[in-house]
Structure 1
C-alpha cells in the first residue's frame, strides 16, 4: 500500500519534497498526481521556508523539528541541491556550530557580491529569518552566529570557539611571516582577517591574502610590459581533522572566484592540523595546497598550537602548571607576534596559580548572569569568607590600560559579577572584592579613576595591580616555577623592550 506524505516522513525522516514525489511515482501514481499530493500535504507536514531549485521544499513533521535527524537530513538535502544555504550550514558545523559573525563571509562558501550567486549577507539573513541560525554577542569576540541546533547549550560552544580562533590567528601570523620570508607575497601587502574587516580578492573574502609577483601568478596587460600581480590566498580550519564535506564551502567559493575574468591568478592554500585522505586528494585535484601546521612550521610548533587549543578550550583541566605555560611559550616562540597573544591568553592561568595558596577554590572564565545581561569573569577566587573577582590583562609592559577599559570594568562588568554573587546561595553572605590586574601600565586617567573607585566603594572592595605589584605578589609565593615563568615570559620578555 502506498504511504501518505506524512507516513513517508515518519518512516524515513525529514527530506526534500522531490524525494517524496519520486517515491509516489515509483508506487504507480502519475507525476502530476504525485506533485499535487505533495503540494497539498497536510496540517502535520511542515515546509522550511527556503527557496531551493525547481521549487523544491524541505519537508518534516512537527515532532521532527529541531531533532538531530532533522539537522543531519537538512544538511544532506541542501548539499544535494548545491544550495548556498547547505554550504553555509556545513561551514558552521565544521567550526563547532558557532563563529564570529564577520567571518561568515569567509567560511560560508558564498561571495560577498557576485552576479548569479547569493551573497553571503543574503544567505545569512535568510538563515537567521528561518531560525536555522541565531545571533549572540560574546564578550571579547563581538557578534557571533550559531546553528539553532545549539540554542539550549550555546554557552558550551564559546570557549572552544574562542580557543580555535585565537590559535588560528597566531597561526595565520606565522604563515604570513613564512610567505613573506620566502618571497611568495610582497612585504606589508599581506593581510589577515580581523573582527572589523577581512582580506578580499575580487568578490571573495579570505583568512589571509597577499599580493604576489611570482612568475606563475603574474600576467601582463595586453600591449604593455606592465606586470599584473596575482594573489596568494589562504583558508584555515584548525579542527581535529578536516573532512571532504568540510571543504565543500571552500571549493564553492574558489569556483566562484575562478569563474571571473580579469582577476589575477591565485596560489591557494588550505591550512589544517590534518586532513582525511579524501579531503587531501580532493584539494590536490583542484590545484590547492593542503598544508598542515606541522609542514609549515615543525613538529614542536604544531604540537604547541594543539596544546594551546586544548588549554583554551577547557579540554584539559583548568589548572595548568607554570612548566606547561613555559613549554607553550617556547614551542611557539618562533612565530612572530605570538608572545604578545600568548600573554593575553595565558595570563589568567598565571593569576589562578598565584592565588591558589590563599583560596580553597579557583574558577576561570565563568559566565556570570546579571540583570543587564551576562559577562565572563576571568578568575574567581573563593574562600569561606571572601569571593574575589579578578580581571586580567596580559599586556606588553609598554601598553597602557586606558580609561575606556577601566570604565567598562567598573560600570559594566562589576555590577553583573556582583549580582551573580548576590544570587549565589553560598557567595551572597561573603565579602566581595573586585581587582583589575595588568602586566601593562595604567594611563594617568585610568589610574585616577581606579583610585577614586577604590575609595568610594562601600558595599564591596575594589583594587588594582600593575606589573610591579603583580611581580611582588608572585615573588611572595613559594612557587619557584611560577616565578621563573612570570619573569621570563611576562616581566622580562625581550618583546617588552620594543
Structure 2
C-alpha cells in the first residue's frame, strides 16, 4: 500500500539527511532533543508518508523499524547503519554479518549454521535458514555457485564489502581442517573428550551441541565438566571454532561468546568448555575472551611455531596455485613434512597438495611454462573448469594438461571418476583451450595421473576411449608415475612422492621377525 506525503515528512527527511539511516529509536531520541515528547515523536513516525522508506525484510527487537531515504539505499553509510542497527537490536543478523566478514566475505552454505551461530531449532530464535533468507531480502548477501567445485557459497552482495577469492576460502578451510584434526588428536591424548564421539565440521554428522553448530565438538567426562546423574556420570562438552583468516578482534570474540551463551542458556544443559583458535587476537579481543571465560588460543600455542608457519604457508600455496605452481620443491617438502605429522590430517592434506607436487615434477623433468589450479571459462556456454596442471612444453612438444587424482595407494580410482574426466572435462577443456589464441594451434595432450593403480574394468574402458579429435589421451597410474619420477633430479620431489604418495605410513609393511 502506497503512503501519501505527510506534513511531518519534512522533519523526518531533515533528520535522516543529517543523521543518516537509523532505527526508529534513534529518530525518537533526536526528536525528543528537539523538544517533542516521546509519545508525540512516535506518533509522527507512525504517520510518516512516502517521502521516507521503511526497510522491509528485517525485523528488529522491540518492534523497531529501520528508516532511510530512497537515495541513501546501497551507499556505504547505509550498510554501516544496518550493521549498527543489527548489533543493537538484531543480534542474530549481526552474528551472521560479523561471522561472514571474519571469513573474508564468502563461506560455504553448508557451514553457514556454524558461522552465524544461530540455533538450528529453538522457539523464539531465528534459524540459520531464516537469517539467510532475510539478509538476502535486503540484498546484503547472496548465494553463488563455485563452478570449480560445484559448491554453494554465501557471499556479501554490496560492492564495498571486500570478498576474498573462493580459492583463498578453500585454502583457508583446508588449513583449518588440519588444525581440527590436530585438536582431535590432542583431546585423545589428554583424555579430554571421548575420541570416537568427537565430531568435526566436515563429518557426516555435524558437531552440534545444544542446537548450536561448531567446528569441533566432543563429550567430556573430565572434571568439572562431567556431573553425577542417577549413579552415572553425565558428560559435559568441549566445543571449538577455528578461524585462520585474520587476527580476531573484540567483535569476533563477542560473536563467539554469544554462541556459547546461546548454547548454555537452556535449562539442564551440561557444562560446555569453549575454545576459540586463531592465528592471533588483538589486545581487546584477547582481553574480552579472558573476561568471558573463553579459552582463546593460537595455532602456535597449540602446535608450536613450526606448524603455525606451515599452516600459513599452506594457505599461501593453495590460495593461488597458478602463481605458486613453480614452488620451490624444498619449500613444499617442509610444509608437507610439518603438517603430515598431525594424525588424521595427512590424507586430506596430500590430496590438496598433489597437483602442486605433480606440477613441480613435470616441470622439473620436461621444462616449459607451468600453471596449476587455473579456472577457465568457455565463452560459448559459460561453463567453467579448473585445470589441475598445465605445462606448455618447449621444443614444440605441445601442451600437457593433467588431471590429478590423489588416492591412498591401497585404493583405486573408480570408473565414474575416469568417465567424468574423459567424457566431460576433456572435451570442455579442449574447447576452452582451442578458443585461446595462445593454444589454438598447439598440440594438446590430456592425461589422468593418479598414485593408485588403474586396472581391470577401468583400464579396459580407458583403452577403448583413447581417441579424441584434435588431441591425444593418456594416463599414468602409480607404477607409471614411479617410472616417471626416476627422470627427476630433485631430491625433494623424489622424497615427497615416495614418502607421501607411494609408500606413506598408511601402507608401509613391517617385516615379520624371523
The normalised TM-score by structure 1 is 0.90
Asked if the contact 2:325–2:360 (Cα under 8 Å) also holds between the matched residues in 1, the reply is no
Q: Which residue of 2 aligns with 1:447?
A: 459
Cα distance, 1:433 vs structure 2 = 2.6
Q: Which residue of 1 aligns with 2:421?
A: 409
Q: Which residue of 2 aligns with 1:437?
A: 449
Q: Which residue of 1 aligns with 2:182?
A: 174
Cα distance, 1:31 vs structure 2 = 4.4
1:290 aligns with 2:302: no
Alignment partners' CA distance in 2, 1:141 and 1:274: 32
Alignment partners' CA distance in 2, 1:70 and 1:394: 48
CA 1:298/1:141 → structure 2, altered by over 3 Å: closer, same or farther? Answer: farther
Deviations 1:320-351 (A, max 9, x none): 11101111122223310232222111111122
* 3-state secondary structure, aligned to 1:400: coil
Q: Which residue of 2 aligns with 1:324?
A: 331
Alignment partners' CA distance in 2, 1:57 and 1:172: 41
Deviations 1:63-102 (A, max 9, x none): 5444444333322221121431111111111111111112
* 3-state secondary structure, aligned to 2:506: helix
Cα distance, 1:391 vs structure 2 = 1.4
CA 1:191/1:278 → structure 2, altered by over 3 Å: closer, same or farther? Answer: same
Alignment partners' CA distance in 2, 1:91 and 1:240: 12
> For structure 1, which segment, 291-300 or 64-73, has the greater mean C-alpha deviation from structure 2 after superposition?
64-73
Cα distance, 1:240 vs structure 2 = 2.8
Q: Which residue of 2 aligns with 1:376?
A: 386
Q: Which residue of 2 aligns with 1:482?
A: 493
Asked if the contact 1:372–1:416 (Cα under 8 Å) also holds between the matched residues in 2, the reply is no
Q: Which residue of 2 aligns with 1:183?
A: 191
* 3-state secondary structure, aligned to 2:199: strand
Q: Which residue of 2 aligns with 1:105?
A: 113
Alignment partners' CA distance in 2, 1:68 and 1:379: 41
Q: Which residue of 1 aligns with 2:269?
A: 263
Alignment partners' CA distance in 2, 1:93 and 1:207: 17
Q: Which residue of 2 aligns with 1:148?
A: 157
Q: Which of 4, 15, 20 does residue 22 from structure 2 map onto?
A: 15
1:336 aligns with 2:346: no
Asked if the contact 2:445–2:472 (Cα under 8 Å) also holds between the matched residues in 1, the reply is yes
Task: Map 1:206-225 onto structure 2 (within 5 A).
Answer: 206-221=214-229, 224-225=230-231
> For structure 1, which segment, 403-412 or 44-53, has the greater mean C-alpha deviation from structure 2 after superposition?
44-53
Q: Which runs of 5+ in 1 are unaligned?
A: none
Q: Which residue of 2 aligns with 1:467?
A: 478
Asked if the contact 1:402–1:443 (Cα under 8 Å) also holds between the matched residues in 2, the reply is no
CA 1:197/1:43 → structure 2, altered by over 3 Å: closer, same or farther? Answer: farther
Q: Which of 276, 286, 289 does residue 280 from structure 1 map onto?
A: 286
Cα distance, 1:280 vs structure 2 = 1.4
CA 1:443/1:84 → structure 2, altered by over 3 Å: closer, same or farther? Answer: farther
> For structure 1, which segment, 475-484 or 105-114, has the greater mean C-alpha deviation from structure 2 after superposition?
475-484
Task: Map 1:87-102 onto structure 2 (within 5 A).
Answer: 87-102=95-110
Q: Which residue of 1 aligns with 2:233?
A: 227
Asked if the contact 1:141–1:162 (Cα under 8 Å) also holds between the matched residues in 2, the reply is no
Q: Which of 340, 358, 371 does residue 351 from structure 1 map onto?
A: 358
CA RMSD for the aligned pairs?
2.8
Asked if the contact 2:180–2:200 (Cα under 8 Å) also holds between the matched residues in 1, the reply is yes
* 3-state secondary structure, aligned to 1:433: strand
1:395 aligns with 2:402: no
What is the aligned length? Answer: 493
1:247 aligns with 2:259: no
Alignment partners' CA distance in 1, 2:455 and 2:16: 64
Cα distance, 1:62 vs structure 2 = 5.0
Q: Which residue of 2 aligns with 1:73?
A: 81
CA 1:152/1:15 → structure 2, altered by over 3 Å: closer, same or farther? Answer: closer
> For structure 1, which segment, 156-165 or 145-154, has the greater mean C-alpha deviation from structure 2 after superposition?
145-154
Q: Which of 199, 208, 211 does residue 203 from structure 1 map onto?
A: 211
> For structure 1, which segment, 380-389 or 287-296, has the greater mean C-alpha deviation from structure 2 after superposition?
380-389
Alignment partners' CA distance in 1, 2:369 and 2:432: 17
Alignment partners' CA distance in 2, 1:152 and 1:246: 17
* 3-state secondary structure, aligned to 1:210: strand
Q: Which residue of 1 aligns with 2:5?
A: none
Cα distance, 1:11 vs structure 2 = 4.9
Q: Which residue of 2 aligns with 1:122?
A: 130
Alignment partners' CA distance in 2, 1:390 and 1:307: 24
Asked if the contact 2:333–2:492 (Cα under 8 Å) also holds between the matched residues in 1, the reply is no
Asked if the contact 1:6–1:41 (Cα under 8 Å) also holds between the matched residues in 2, the reply is no
> For structure 1, which segment, 74-83 or 308-317, has the greater mean C-alpha deviation from structure 2 after superposition?
308-317
Q: Which residue of 2 aligns with 1:312?
A: 318
Asked if the contact 1:323–1:485 (Cα under 8 Å) also holds between the matched residues in 2, the reply is no
CA 1:84/1:481 → structure 2, altered by over 3 Å: closer, same or farther? Answer: same
Alignment partners' CA distance in 2, 1:426 and 1:313: 25
Alignment partners' CA distance in 2, 1:178 and 1:352: 34
Deviations 1:437-495 (A, max 9, x none): 111223633333322222x3223222211122223223223334322332233223223
Alignment partners' CA distance in 2, 1:449 and 1:83: 56
Alignment partners' CA distance in 1, 2:63 and 2:28: 13
Cα distance, 1:105 vs structure 2 = 1.0
1:57 aligns with 2:65: yes
Cα distance, 1:180 vs structure 2 = 0.9
* 3-state secondary structure, aligned to 2:402: strand
* 3-state secondary structure, aligned to 2:250: coil
1:84 aligns with 2:92: yes
